[in-house]
Amino acid sequence: MIIKFKNKVAVVTGSSRGIGKATVLLFAQKGAKVVVNCRTDRERGREVVDEIKKFGYDAVLVQADVSKSKDVKKLFQETIEAFGTVDILVNNAGIIRPKSFFELSAKDLEKTFSTNVIGVFLCAQEATKIMLKKKQGKIINIASMRGLPHCGREGIMGYSVSKAAVINFTKTLAKELAPHINVNAVAPGFTETEMNKVLDEKTRQSVIKDTYLKRFIQPEEIARAVLYLASGDANAVTCEVLVVDSGYSLK
Catalytic residue selected from 159, 212, 228, 248: 159
Identify whether 159 is a catalytic site residue. Answer: yes
Query: Within its chain, how far is the Cα of 16 from the centroid?
Result: 12
User: Which of 244, 251, 226, 240 lies closest to 34 in space, CA to CA?
Assistant: 226
How is the chain split among helix, strand and coil, in percent rounded to 5? 50, 15, 35
CB 62 within 8 A of CB 22: no
Q: In what order do the strands lie in the sheet with 137-142?
A: 59-63, 33-38, 9-12, 88-91, 137-142, 181-188, 241-244
Dist. CA 56–CA 172, nearest whole Å:
38
Classify residue 114 as exposed, middle or buried by CB count within 10 Å of its CB (0-12, 13-18, 19+): middle
> Would you please indicate which residues are annotated as catalytic (active-site) residues?
159
